[in-house]
Structure 1
Amino acid sequence: MIEESRRRAYLSAMQVDCWLPRLLLPFAAPSRPDCLAEVVAAPSLTPPRPASAAPAPSAVPAEPALPGEVLARLPLRRPAPVARAPLETPDSPPEVPVEPVARPVTPRFTLQLYRAGACLLLVELPTGEPFQRRDPSYLLLKDLLRAAGLPDSPQLLGEPLRWPLLNSRDFDQGPQAARAVIEDLLYAQRERGEQWACLWLLGLPALRYAAGADSQDYLRELDLAQLGRAWALPGLELLIDEPQRKAALWQAMQGVQARWRDDEPG
């Protein structure tokens, strides 16, 4: 079955002006009275007999029923009403949109472990690559170590840790996973016999994923339970971009450097 608008288009293309369906058609418009009047006034639809054929004497001609009379005797059936969704009333509670669950953003950073005297250093690599001897960030790190009374040529401990570890979305590499990996890395240093008087955390990624702290904890001492005491420092690149931070750093260093100087071999 087709809709009324398309049905009328087909009939118009076939040059059919008036027609009557045999059955009630779904989606059809009600019959128009003016069309039915034209059908009743039209001549009989019975085809004429040939001139040579004579009517039988005993045959009684029956008056053919006009389509209008047949249609009048049929019961009128209207299409079943289409069920519609009830309108929202003022008393009905508004629908609360369900927000899609957002996946945690995968952090991106590179950290390097160093050993300088009695201190262990977890340093953010600003460019993602190991320091070169003439890098401004590495030269600043050497200045910090000299000011702290530590060897200014720190010892590398392993390869840089680049996060995310894999270029894949099939594995959880969110913030919680990053923190677990960094904690395991530091615990592994303990198990290898590495001991340190203070752990330097240089840069926001080192501070965030090794100690669960943030930028408001810069220049503060933190207690990391089994990992001992840690000192939170701004990143080397941040100190270069904002040199006014160095004055506060030198002042804070005076209060914490006794922690590793006491552990230096005499």
Structure 2
Amino acid sequence: MLNEPRRRAYLTAMQVVSWLPRTELPFAAPSRPELLAPLPVFEDAAVEEVRSAGVSQVSQTPAASSPAPVARTVERPKIEIPRPSATVKPTVAKADKDEDAAPAVAKAPVVPPPRFALQLLRAGKCLLLVELATGEPFQSRDPSYLLLKDMLRAAGLPDSPQIIGEPVRWPLLVRGQMNQGPEAARDFVQGFLYARTEEEPCTCLWLIGLPAVRFAGEADAESYNLEFQVEGLGSAWALPGLELLMDEPQRKADVWRAMRKLMGRWKSVNE
């Protein structure tokens, strides 16, 4: 059982200022007169009658004794003391739930850098960007180079083309954080060609091999033997690679038919 000081300490912690016991409390102090004052008028008549009966019964009890129990029909509201742990746990659980419900950020797939080697040559008023299948510069007796000379003779162009600069190799760096993806490769190859065409314009740019067609002309294998315009570079002609022409000789007929339609572009200039 609680003594009076401890009981009042508990009531103070629960923020209870005025209270009446439901049963006789041992060691309780005498009731204070202000607690026995008439209660305010309630709308519910039944409640008012019950409370009036309780007050009258308490007033008849001697002051030195404990108040008699009062019958109550209305349940007193329960006062709950807020506990810090009770508010922290739901918050943490909700935060965890929100983190689980948040959609995961999809990372962009890492695209490996393309690998190719291209050699730029000039024959008359035409520039030739040729794929080096082996990655090594042309040699005078290479079968692919001999095939290129035959194609130039058939086109009415000098069969000893001038090699311009070193081969364009990609990727530029073996290691490092520099972006070397397809878009960077395209910008680099086109920038290289822009500089060469500013030094000396050309009437037609031959793109020989898929890497040349893809990164200089922004096209694909479907554009083989077709002429199209490249912004900043002018007219371009897409051709299969020299190695592919040697492996599949039937493609030479399509190249020849396309060449006959385009000869007028460079022949009139050379003459």
- TM-score, length-normalised on structure 2? 0.61
CA displacement at 1:174 relative to structure 2: 0.5
CA displacement at 1:106 relative to structure 2: 0.3
For residues 153 and 125 of structure 1, the distance between their equivalents in structure 2, rounded to whole angstroms, comes to 17
Matched, 1:222 2:218: no
Match of 1:110 among 95, 117, 121: 117
CA displacement at 1:249 relative to structure 2: 0.8
Matched, 1:170 2:177: yes
For residues 257 and 147 of structure 1, the distance between their equivalents in structure 2, rounded to whole angstroms, comes to 10
Equivalent position of 2:197 in the other structure: 190
CA displacement at 1:228 relative to structure 2: 1.0
- Letter of the structure 2 residue corresponding to residue 115 of structure 1: R
- TM-score, length-normalised on structure 1? 0.62
Q: CA RMSD in A?
A: 2.3
CA displacement at 1:191 relative to structure 2: 2.6
How many pairs align? Answer: 178
Q: Deviations over 1:91-125 (max 9, x none)?
A: xxx99776542112200000011000110000000
For residues 246 and 97 of structure 1, the distance between their equivalents in structure 2, rounded to whole angstroms, comes to 52
Q: Deviations over 1:189-234 (max 9, x none)?
A: 1332x11110000000000000100000000001113211010000
Equivalent position of 2:27 in the other structure: none
Equivalent position of 1:43 in the other structure: none
- Letter of the structure 1 residue corresponding to residue 108 of structure 2: V
Equivalent position of 1:150 in the other structure: 157
CA displacement at 1:257 relative to structure 2: 1.1
Q: Greater Rg, structure 1 or structure 2?
A: 2
Which structure features the higher share of helix residues? Answer: 2
CA displacement at 1:179 relative to structure 2: 0.7
Q: Percent identity at matched positions?
A: 59
* SS of residue paired to 1:113: strand
- Letter of the structure 2 residue corresponding to residue 147 of structure 1: A
For residues 243 and 266 of structure 2, the distance between their equivalents in structure 1, rounded to whole angstroms, comes to 25
Long gaps (5+) in structure 2: 1-89, 94-100
Runs ≥4 in structure 1, deviation > 2 angstroms?
94-101
For residues 184 and 151 of structure 1, the distance between their equivalents in structure 2, rounded to whole angstroms, comes to 26
